[in-house]
């Protein structure tokens, strides 16, 4: 069974007697598996798969939702890079989805506002930028560009 929280799994490996025999002594081996960020998404997905297979639908949904939410930051970063390269058609859907997943993330809203401004959708860009300032007052200076 998976533990909730970060995808970390620790197994105590024991033999029939509860111990694994080492040379001349009894030892208990502990195996710790920790995934890096690239493994986290896979681990969250596997956790969802496990719960789905166990017919624990609510837990499966929570695990899958966590996995999808973890993708929001890379989507936002990729959207920003696409904007920098002038690939607005690629940037816009990624940015919209990142904001949909984490709607109170100032950097995500800022990225979306910048993309919308670059497409000439000034009114919608301004609406998103107005949401940014209360979340991150350090971006207040950008608001004038969106009016």
The residue that leads in pLDDT, 9 or 48, is 48
Distance CA 69, CA 113 (A): 20
Domain boundaries, the chain: 8-69, 71-146
Closest CA to 135 of 96, 103, 112: 103
Q: Given this model, what pLDDT does residue 36 score?
A: 52
Fold of 71-146: 1.25.40
Closest CA to 67 of 38, 96, 31, 108: 38
Tokens 């960020």 — which residue? Answer: 37
Closest CA to 130 of 113, 105, 117, 111: 113
Using CA of residue 46, residue 52, residue 58, residue 59, what is the dihedral sign?
Answer: negative
Closest CA to 133 of 124, 143, 147, 121: 143
Q: What is the pLDDT of residues 15-69, one digit of tens each?
A: 333 334 444 443 333 333 444 555 788 999 999 999 999 999 999 999 999 999 9
Q: What is the pLDDT of residues 99-124, one digit of tens each?
A: 999 999 999 999 999 999 999 999 99
Distance CA 108, CA 78 (A): 11
């Amino acid at each position: 069974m998976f533990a909730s929280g970060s995808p970390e799994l620790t197994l105590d490996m024991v033999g029939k007697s509860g111990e694994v025999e080492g040379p001349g002594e009894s030892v208990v081996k502990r195996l710790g598996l920790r995934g890096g960020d690239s493994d986290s998404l896979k681990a969250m997905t596997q956790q969802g798969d496990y719960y789905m297979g166990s017919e624990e639908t609510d837990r499966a949904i929570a695990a899958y939702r966590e996995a999808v939410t973890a993708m929001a930051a890379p989507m936002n970063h990729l959207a920003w890079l696409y904007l920098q390269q002038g690939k607005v058609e690629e940037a816009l859907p990624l940015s919209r989805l990142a904001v949909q997943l984490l709607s109170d993330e100032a950097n995500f809203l800022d990225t979306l506002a910048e993309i919308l401004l670059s497409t000439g959708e000034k009114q919608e860009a301004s609406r998103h930028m107005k949401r940014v300032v209360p979340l991150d007052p350090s971006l207040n200076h950008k608001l004038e560009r969106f009016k």
